[in-house]
Each structure stands twice: as structure tokens, then as C-alpha cells.
Amino acid sequence: METRNITSPIGPYGPGSGDPQARKQLLAGVTLVNRYTIQEVIGIGGMGSVYRARDMHFPNVVKLVAVKEMIIMAPDPLVRQNIVQNFEREANLLATLHHPAIPRIYDYFSHDDRSYLVLEFIQGRDLEAVINDADGFLMEDQVISWGIQLCDVLEYLHGHQPDPIIFRDMKPSNVMINQNGDVVLVDFGIAKTFQTGIKGTMIGTEGYSPPEQYRGDATQLADVYALGATLHHALTRRDPRLEPPFTFAERPIRRINSNISIELETVVHTALQYTPTERFQGAAAMKDALMNVARKTGVLAKMASAALPTPISAGVKPIWDFKCEDEIRGTPTLNQGALYIGCYDNNLYALNAADGKFQWKYPTDGGIVSRPLVYENNIFFCSEDQRLHVVGARTGKLLWTYYTENRIYSSPRISDGHIFFGSDDNDLHAVNVNSGRPVWKFTTDSPIHSTPLIANELIYFGTESGSFYSLDFRGAMKWRFQAKRAMTSSPTGKGQAVYTASLDGTLYALDAKSGWAIWKFRLGKGTVSSPAIADEFIFIGAADGFVYCVDIRTAKEVWRFKTENQVSSSPAVYKDSLYIGSVDGNMYCLEYRTGRLRWKFETGSAITGSPVIFDDIVYFGSTDHHVYALFA
């Protein structure tokens, strides 16, 4: 045993690499024991496939059967013996049962390394597929009716003589719904006659099994619990295998599906009691309870009323607004009571943040999307006129400009006496903050729209060809990462990782030092939005109209919020809220932990820039030409 494990190669992560023939599925047309002609594969289990086959002993009619295959791969004789015993147990058990919700067994036989069980073929779909394929929630009456039928078959199994049979694996995928809409219980692989005092081993499907089953106690009350779990899944469409065990109480049915009656919720809740003695004390008692619900709620299903809570939108009034001559596509900057914002009327505006009064404007020769930066009482910003402009913060008087060879959409960053920004001339420029002279340029193969991130003593930025670079302060490349499409999104950093997104529809987490992808999160569509981080969450908008919240450690989605058009704006977090604009013209305020809408504010046109929040006031511009200030 030991030797085999040490010396024999374990097939590289492929199934049964030693003998590829051994795992092959039977092909259509193959006839087993001169009787069952395989038609197609209808299911795949852990041990082999399930086929639909035609029984050729009835040549004049088409009699279909299900042939369940078990391939014995294990080379160890003890394991093989165990498997064959399980298989024969299932066959013998099934052969003694007669119930409309249990498939009839016709035959079983073994052939080379495979054993076969021939069963009644159930025309239909399993409940898991029914749940998944439904457009909305299943009807309460329908679920009650299936629940009653399942109680009935459990009652039959539990009343089996001489020993009760515990099904032990009640879950939607083991419940077939046949052509008449009735249930049939399938897969008796681990159904087990109950022998008092003998502990079973730990088997069961996580999510549906009750707490005591993990201890090895499988009783009738375990089946009651698993049926409760199955009904809970059917009513809420929340798969318990994706939730921590025993958390049904944290997901009350009516909070997810408000159309369900309180009576049905109570029945399911009782079946799911943590302590076995507090559940229905048998399938019969649960059946009675379900029958009572069916009587009370009547036969007619209540019409589904999709009652979505309407958000507060009328109540939000701006503190002030200020009108420019053209669209505002960028993001403002706030400094010492003044708000600075660029506009497509080619001006940079300075407004009084308290009342929105005009202070000064500075004209350039191109539209300004670049976000201004304040550094030592000067404003640094770029324009489509190909220049970096530096003007006095109080006066708006020009100090100096710096020319690149194409339009600039990137926003400047300052660190260690350098200004860094990208340009459509394909270069990342490093300019001396005092002298305005170039220190170095780093040439890439395409325009740079993203704003560089300075962190870990490195400079990070993406390009329109989808490259993402990390440079040191001398302009030497440390590493490069390649996305499939443009990286317009500006990176953000936390700890030893940088986060950025691409028009290829992926949010990337990259190792800050080496550029390895730590994780990738798929968005519905591409994005130009830049991610923001708060606590363990990372937020980003995308062209599919959603705002996403993703766990930064596990890359799992926490929530998503749908707006009515694409989200190019970048999220901003302030206190416990997230603020983000959408091309649908609204500024949204969401609870950042849950994604619940707090309020939204409608402007006359798309919002592509990002908000800035200070002192409980949100500042942002809209392509309706206005700058707004709202209470956060």
C-alpha cells in the first residue's frame, strides 16, 4: 500500500491517466449484455455515467430504461470490495421498495471493471435544474405540493420493515420532477437501513445535512431537516451549499421571497430546527403541517408582485450648482475652501466650495478631463492642448507649462519632487516640479490615459494597448503585465498589491513587486472606471451598468448594484457610503457594505467624472455643464 503510493506516479491532475480507456463513456449504440442499447448520457456521477438505454427484449415497443454505471478504478482490492458492496446494497435495497415516487429496479449486472444498475427511466428534470431554469421564484403551491409528496415517500421509507430506511441525501438534485409534475426520488447510493446504536460515517451533502449527521447520527429527523433545506432552496433560490452550514435561520424565506406565506415559512423553519427534538418528529407530522398550509392559503397562487423598494430621489436638493459653458467629464479637487475643476469649454474653474461662487478661470486651448492637483499653492493639470499647466491656486495666473507631443487625458501625480503623467504621445513623463524641465520619459507603444499610481517607491500605469507598467524613479521598467484590451482605468494600491481594470472586462489584483496576477475578477463588460478600496472591499463600476463590490482577499463578489447605463465614473468612499456617477445621469449614494441605495440625484446628462467628498458635502461635475454640491 505504502510502496504503491510512494513509487507509482499519480496521474497528473487528469482523470485516470494510467488507463485512459478505462474511464471512457459508453458510446451510443453499444449494447450491454445483449439487451440494453445505450442511447445517450443523461448524467455524470462521481463513479461513472448514467445512460438512457433501450431494452431490446421488447423489440416491438420502445421501452426506455436508465442504466447507472459504476466504474471501479481503485486498484486496491479492499477499496474495490467496498465499492461493489455499496453498489449491491443499493440494488438490493431498491428491489424491495414499491412506491410511486421511487424508481423501479429491473436488473443489475457486472461487466469487466464496471457494474450496472438498470432502473425505470424517469422522463423529466431534477428539481435543481427546475429551480435554476425558472425565471423567478417557484410558485408556493407547487412547492407545497412537492413537499407533501416528498414527505409521503420519506414516511414510506422510514416505515420500512424490518429496519427503517434513512435516505440521508435529500437535496434538489436527487429529486426528479417527472412529466406529470410529480416527484421521484433518485440516487439511493447512500440510503441506509438504520441500525440503532451503530454510528454511520460522515457522508452527506454539505448545506442540506443537519448538524447531527456530521457527527455520524443519521436518523429520520435528519431526512426531515434535509427536506426542509431542499424546500428552503426551492423557495428562496439560495443554494445552501454556497452558504455556511446551518445558517438557514439567517436567511428567512420571506425576507428573500416576500410572496411566501408566513405559514409555509414556519413549517420549513420548524423542519430546519437545529436541535432534532424541536423539529417535526417524523415525515408524517411534517406532511400534516404542509397540508394545513395548503388548505389555509388556498389553491390559487398569489400573483407575484415585484415590489422593489423605491429609492429616495426627490428629497435630494443641491446646496449649490454652477454652470460652465460645456461638458464636465472630469473630477474636481478641493483645497482650502476652493473647488478646482476642468471643463470642455477649455477652462479650469476655481469656485468657492461653500457657496459655488466663481473665483477665477484659466483658459487652455483644449478640453480638460485631467483632475487638477494642488501642490505648494500651485495647481497642476493637463489639457487636450497637449500641455501640463501650472497656475497659482489663489490667482489662477500661469507659472509655466510643459509641452508633450499629443493630447493629455491623464492626471498628474507628484512624488519626490517629480510630476508624473501620461500622454497620447505614448510617453510617461517625469517633470521636475520646481524647474518644469523634463527629467525622463518612458516610451510605450500606445497612448496613456490612466493616471499613474505612486506606491512602494514605484510608478504604476496602464496604456491603451493593454500594457501595465511598473517603473522605478529613474524611469527603468521593473515589470510589465499584459491585459487583453486597453487599461484606461487608473490603478490603486493597498499593501503589496496594485488593483486595476481593463476594457477586457477584468478587475486585476497584481503583486506590486513582481506583477504576477494574484486574482482576476470578471466584470460583465469592460470598464474605464478606477477601483476604490475601503476595509476589505474593492469597488468599481463597469460598462454593463453595475457597480461591483469585491472582497479584496478572496476575489468573491460581495454585492453589485445596477444603474441604468454604463458606469465610467470611479467610486469614492466617505464614512459608510459609496458615491458614484453613471452615464444614466444620476449620482448614486450606496451603503458600501451592502450596496443598498441611500439616495440618488439626477442631473441633466451623463456623469463620467468622480465625486469628491469633504466635510459631509459631495462635489462633482456632470456633462450637463453643471458642477453640483450635495449633502452627503
Partner 1 sequence: MADFFKKLFGSKEDTKPREADAVTTAPLTDQQIQSIISSQAPRYEIRQLVASVGQSVGKQRDHNEDSLLAMTSTLSGNSESVPFGLYVVADGMGGHQFGEVASNAAVRIVGGSIINKFHSYQYNLPSQAIQESLQEVMESAIMDAHQYIQREAPGSGTTITAALVLGQQITIGHVGDSRAYAIYPDGRTEALTRDHSLVKRLEELGHLSKDEVENFPHRNVLIRALGQGETLEADIFTIPFPQPGYLMICSDGLWGVVNEKDIVRIMNESPSLHRACQSMVEAANAAGGPDNITVILAQIVG
Per CB under 8 A, residues contacting partner 1 are: 1-2, 5, 10-13, 15-16, 46-47, 73-74, 76, 78-79, 82-83, 201-206, 211, 214-216, 241-242, 244-247, 274, 416-418, 432, 435, 437, 439-440, 457, 472-474, 476-480, 482, 495-497, 508-509, 511-514, 516-520, 553-555
List residues bridging with 55 in a β-sheet. Answer: 36
Residues 534-561: b if buried by 16+ CB within 10 A, e if exposed? beebbbbbbbbbbbbbbebeeeeebbbb
13, with CB counted inside 10 A (0-12, 13-18, 19+), is exposed
Question: CB neighbours of 57 closer than 8 A, spacing ≥ 6?
Answer: 35, 63
Closest residue by Cα to residue 192 from 212, 210, 170, 218: 218
Q: 469628491: which residue's cell?
A: 612
Shortest CB 405 distance to partner 1, Å: 20
Nearer of residues 64 and 477 to partner 1, judged by Cβ: 477
Rounded Cα distance, 216 and 195, in Å: 12
Do 283 and 595 form a contact (C-beta atoms < 8 A)? no
The answer to whether 206 touches 246, Cβ cutoff 8 Å, is no
Which C-beta is closer to partner 1: that of 380 or that of 508?
Answer: 508
Closer Cβ to partner 1, 247 or 313, answer by number: 247
Name the minimum Å distance from CB 171 to partner 1.
Answer: 10
| Residues in Cβ contact with 451 at an 8 Å cutoff, skipping those fewer than 6 apart | 371, 410, 411, 412, 413, 421, 422, 461, 490, 530
CB of 86 to partner 1, least distance (A): 9
The HSE-up count of residue 598 (CA atoms within 13 Å, CB side) is 16
Q: Which is nearer to partner 1, 48 or 282 (CB)?
A: 48
Strand partners, 350: 340, 360
Are the beta carbons of 478 and 458 closer than 8 angstroms?
Answer: yes
Taking the least distance from each CB to partner 1, the nearer of 470 and 610 is 470
- Number of residues written out for the chain: 632
Q: Which residues of 123-145 are buried (b: 16+ CB within 10 A; e: fewer)?
A: ebebbbebbeeeeebbbbbebbb
Q: Compute the least distance from the CB of residue 241 to partner 1, in Å.
A: 5
List the catalytic residue out of 55, 126, 169, 584: 169
Beta carbon nearer to partner 1, 263 or 551: 551
Distance CA 35, CA 381 (A): 81
Q: How far is the CB of 285 from partner 1 (least distance, A)?
A: 24
- Among 190, 209, 216, 211, which Cα is nearest to 45's? 190
**Shortest distance (Å) from residue 101 CB to partner 1:** 23
Q: Calculate the CA dihedral of residues 531, 352, 362, 448 and round it to 10 degrees.
A: 0
C-beta of 211: minimal distance to partner 1 in Å? Answer: 7
Sign, CA torsion 522/509/425/369: positive
Which C-beta is closer to partner 1: that of 156 or that of 508? Answer: 508
Residue 60 beta carbon to partner 1: minimum distance, rounded to whole angstroms: 40
583: cell is 452615464
Closest distance of CB 124 from partner 1, Å: 21
Nearer to partner 1 among residue 33 and residue 477 (C-beta): 477
Give the nearer residue to partner 1 in terms of CB position, either 99 or 269: 269
Give catalytic status of residue 544 as yes or no: no
| CA dihedral over 414, 419, 420, 425, signed as positive or negative | positive
Nearer to partner 1, 71 or 235 (CB): 71
Residue corresponding to grid cell 431542499: 230
- Closest C-alpha among 413, 318, 406, 392 to residue 348: 392
User: Residue 479 CB, nearest distance to partner 1 (Å)?
Assistant: 6
Which amino acid, one-letter code, is at 464? E
- Name the minimum Å distance from CB 483 to partner 1: 11
Q: Which of 234, 220, 239, 217 is nearest to 268 (CA)?
A: 234
Are 332 and 619 within 8 A, CB to CB?
yes
Asked if the peptide bond before residue 162 counts as cis, ω within 30 degrees of 0, the response is yes
Q: Which is nearer to partner 1, 536 or 616 (CB)?
A: 536
- Transcribe 226-238 into DSSP letters: HHHHHHHHHHH--
The residues carrying an active-site annotation are 169
